[in-house]
């Protein structure tokens, strides 16, 4: 997969991007730690375990960049950066319970440590705590945006549960990945724009950037689930198929493969297990019909679409960081 062209003078590495935001991201990490302390020890333990598990922190980074695009210097970006990461963490806790996941980022999933019941409640507490912190901004636009986000994400999870074990269409898949991933990316950009006092058009441009970046991110994530090693992923390979989920490359293969090959894929999806069919056989089918390359190409197109949405903003080191971020998303290995 060829990475999209990056304009001259753009930030060239992830290290440079995160160095630009180092102090603010460190402040968000501290805020996250403070915000997940409860009078109930189990909640504090689970919250700290999840925070220590790390992650790319790309969502709060996007919120920071969006706010900085308008020279925002207030404390709100750090607080809301922690809020979106707490919401993201809460969704991961609930996802792992629903998917019966054993690992997350190379460590035991929280539900294997504390059990489903405690983790459901800890996830609920994290959602409420995120809103408690967000209320401190005293901004109804911020609250409305976060409420709509959480509704979209919960609806996405419910829709995905209803589709498990089914050979869904590409349009259904796009709807799911928008709700489950791209919506949060979009909201991070919109929240930064709200803090920065952006116009309605600028808000929409940045929200569109976040949406397209999130779509690219999830498409790449789904391809990596099929192609990367367990060591790199930090979880079993082909987890989506094992859970009865079909993703973009698989949908493409289903539309082009022979009936007996379609039957192999359908069997795994319906039974949610590789019974009599190997992961290698599925990869061979996906490779034979160019399905992995096709999905990667769609991710590159979304990345370029994201970049196009901010081309009218004045040049700055922040804009250059946003122009580079789509490449970080499409060429990553985990």
How far apart CA 154 and CA 299 sit, in angstroms, is 24
How far apart CA 104 and CA 101 sit, in angstroms, is 8
Comparing 13-27, 42-56, 106-120, 254-268, the range with the smallest average pLDDT is 13-27
- Asked if residue 17 has pLDDT above 80, the reply is no
Comparing 7-11, 22-26, 68-72, 318-322, the range with the smallest average pLDDT is 7-11
* Residues sharing a CB contact under 8 Å with residue 315, sequence separation 6 or more, in sequence order: none
- Asked if residue 284 has pLDDT above 80, the reply is yes
Place 9 in a pLDDT band, splitting at 50, 70 and 90: very low
Residue positions counted in the chain:
334
Q: What is the mean pLDDT of the chain?
A: 92
What are the residue ranges spanned by the domains of the chain? 14-331
Tokens of 14: 């992830």
Place 304 in a pLDDT band, splitting at 50, 70 and 90: very high
Place 8 in a pLDDT band, splitting at 50, 70 and 90: very low
For range 252-261, the mean pLDDT: 97
- Asked if residue 174 has pLDDT above 80, the reply is yes
pLDDT, residue 13, reads 61
14-331: in CATH 1.10.600.10: yes
pLDDT, residue 6, reads 43
Tokens of 201: 């058009």
For tokens 């308008």, what's the residue?
70
Q: pLDDT digit string (tens) for 188-241?
A: 999 999 999 999 999 999 999 999 999 999 999 999 999 988 878 777 889 999
Tokens of 25: 């991201």
Tokens of 195: 């803090």
């Amino acid at each position: 997969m060829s990475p999209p062209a990056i304009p001259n003078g753009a930030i060239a590495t992830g290290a440079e991007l995160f160095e630009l935001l180092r102090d603010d991201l460190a402040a968000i990490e501290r805020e996250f730690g403070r915000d997940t302390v409860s009078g109930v020890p189990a909640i504090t333990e689970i919250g700290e375990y999840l925070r220590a598990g790390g992650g790319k922190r790309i969502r709060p980074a996007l919120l920071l960049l969006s706010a900085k695009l308008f020279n925002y210097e207030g404390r709100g970006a750090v607080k809301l950066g922690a809020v979106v990461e707490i919401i993201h963490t809460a969704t991961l806790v609930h996802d792992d319970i629903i998917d019966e996941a054993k690992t997350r980022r190379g460590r035991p999933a929280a539900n294997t440590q504390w059990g489903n019941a405690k983790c459901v409640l800890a996830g609920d507490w994290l959602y409420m705590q995120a809103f408690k912190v967000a209320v401190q901004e005293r901004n109804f636009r911020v609250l409305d945006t976060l409420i709509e986000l959480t509704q979209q994400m919960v609806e996405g999870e419910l829709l995905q549960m209803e589709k498990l074990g089914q050979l869904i269409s590409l349009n259904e898949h796009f709807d799911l990945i928008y709700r489950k991933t791209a919506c949060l990316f979009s909201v991070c950009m919109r929240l930064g724009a709200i803090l920065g006092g952006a116009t309605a058009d600028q808000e929409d441009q940045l929200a569109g950037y976040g949406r397209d970046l999130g779509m690219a991110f999830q498409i790449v994530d789904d391809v990596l689930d099929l192609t990367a090693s367990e060591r790199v992923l930090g979880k079993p390979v082909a987890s989506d198929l094992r859970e009865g989920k079909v993703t973009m490359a698989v949908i493409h293969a289903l539309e082009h493969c022979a009936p007996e090959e379609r039957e192999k894929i359908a069997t795994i999806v319906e039974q949610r297990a590789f019974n009599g069919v190997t992961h290698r056989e599925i990869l061979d089918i996906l490779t034979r019909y160019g399905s992995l390359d096709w999905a990667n190409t769609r991710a590159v197109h979304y990345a370029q679409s994201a970049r196009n949405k901010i081309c009218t903003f004045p040049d700055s080191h922040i804009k250059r960081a946003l122009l580079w971020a789509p490449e970080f998303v499409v060429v990553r290995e985990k």
